[in-house]
Structures are given as structure tokens and as C-alpha cells.
Structure 1
Amino acid sequence: MKLTSIYPPQQHSTQKAVPLLTSRVAAGFPSPADDYIETDLNLHDYAVKHPAATFFVRATGESMVEVGIQPNDVLVVDRALTALNGDVVIAALDGELTVKQLQLTKNKAWLIPRNPEFKPIEITNHLDCVIWGVVAHSLHSFR
């Protein structure tokens, strides 16, 4: 999965808040909804913890569909987070950005696609690889 269209986060002054309901939505058996608004939710405040180190990038391809990243999803990437085993990361491989799951073993590091049609990439000394940041959120549209 390649990445396109990198965007820095905008300042808070241009952000609009949306209502956050106090009730949660059942993903299983439906339950009656409360008609209470808890507060306003600013998505920027929710998704961007480190504004100076955060950027947005649009995903292409299908190598990460098993973790819910689809083509055209917008990924919120935080460069202030240390990449840990199992994190979904943005990596620059020989100058090209890609999104993969980081797998660290005792002696090796891998970038794992989350689609069985793609092969894992072993990070070796012969590969120019830089971890750019950790994917903190994925914004997925249904329409």
C-alpha cells in the first residue's frame, strides 16, 4: 500500500466541533438511544495529540485491508510516538512511503502487510528504511 497526499494538521481556529452523544452505539443487538448530548467533540483534539509532530496521509492499495485500512482512507500519523512491535507504521523504503505493521523479533525487524496477497518485507542493512511515524488513527468513509 503506497501513500499519497501528505497534509499537516490545521490550526485549532479553523476546526469545527460536532456533538458527542452520551449514549454509545451498540454494534450487536440494538438498544434504545439516549437523546443527550454530552459535549462537543473536536476531531482535531481527539485525533491529534502532538500537533507539531502529526501529519495526515491518504492511503492507496490494499495491503492493509485486514486492519481496516482501505484505499483512500486518511491516516493520522504521529511522529512523536516511538514505534513498538505490532504498531502500524509509515515507513520510507528506498524513498517511497508505505504503511505496514511493524514486527520486531529478537534478531530481525519486518514490515508486515495485512493482506495475504502481499509478502512481508524484512528490514536489512541493504534496505534504506526509515520509520516516519506511527499510525494513530484511520479515517474511513463509507460513502
Structure 2
Amino acid sequence: MEFEELYKIKVPDEVHQAGTSKQTGFPSPATHYLESTIDLNSILTTNRDATFFIRISGNGWKAHNILDQDVLIINRAAPVKRGKLALVVTDGIFKIERIPTASVDDLEFTVWGVITYIIHAVL
């Protein structure tokens, strides 16, 4: 089981501007109803500087409902809470673990970041 990609989320450069018709003649009455595209970065992340995407390779984490080619959204600034899934480091190796419901202070691993979303491909 290896991580295929690890990268920071890119901040979109463009900002939505109200559109105007470029055609000649009578403009469309719906021109001012143009909407911007959905920005999943703004919907699925709370702290862009501390948020990372990781693509999973292999089915080693099926027990956590994480499958091959899924994308994990990991927030390094999120608080570590009992029962949450997290990307952890144990002896220099990245793993996915559920934070134990016992004391969070006695963890046998280092929490790299809390998994906030698991994105599955639907084929």
C-alpha cells in the first residue's frame, strides 16, 4: 500500500464576474442569472494551507471504507478527536488509523492529519 500523490490544494485564480451578452441584437433576459462554477475547495476545506489530497493505491484500508483510487482530504490543523480517522506516522511509515476512544494523550503514533473526507469514484 503506497500513496500515489500528495499535494497542496491549489487556490483558484479566477473570481466570478457577472456576465454580459456579447451577441448583437436583443440580449438574453437570463444573462444576469449566470452563476459561477462550484468550487469544491471552498466547500470541502476549511483551512487551505493545512489541507492535502492523497490518492490511495490498493485496497488495504477496506475496513475503513477506503478503496483503491479513493482520494482522502486531510486537514493537518483539525483537532484530534476520539473515533476520527487520521493519517498517522508509526516508525516513519504512513498509515490510516482510527483515533482510539481511550485517552488521546497515550497514542502510540504521531497524527499527521485528520481525514475529513473520503472521495470514492463511481464507475
Q: After TM superposition, is the score higher than 0.5? A: yes
2:76 maps to 79
Q: How many residues get paired?
A: 104
Sort the Cα spacing of 1:83 and 1:14 in 2 relative to 1 into closer, same or farther, 3 A.
farther
Give the Cα–Cα distance (whole angstroms) in 2 for the partners of residues 138 and 14 of structure 1. 27
When residues 104 and 41 of structure 1 are mapped into structure 2, their CA distance, relative to the original with a 3 A threshold, is same
Question: Looking at CA atoms only, which structure, 1 or 2, has the larger radius of gyration?
Answer: 2
Larger strand proportion of the pair: 1
The 1:91–1:4 alpha-carbon spacing in structure 2 relative to 1, beyond 3 Å, is farther
Give, in whole Å, the separation in 1 of the partners of 2:71 and 2:104: 33
- State the Cα distance separating 1:7 from its structure 2 match: 1.3
Structure ranking higher in helix proportion: 2
Give TM-score, length-normalised by structure 2: 0.70
- Distance in 2 of aligned mates of 1:45 and 1:79: 16
* Identity percentage of aligned residues: 22
The correspondence of residues 125-140 of structure 1 with structure 2, limited to 5 A, is 129-140=109-120
Name structure 2 gaps, 5 residues minimum.
16-34
Change in CA separation of 1:80 and 1:4 when aligned onto 2, cut-off 3 Å: same
Are the structure 2 counterparts of residues 54 and 14 from structure 1 closer, same or farther at C-alpha, using a change threshold of 3 Å?
A: farther
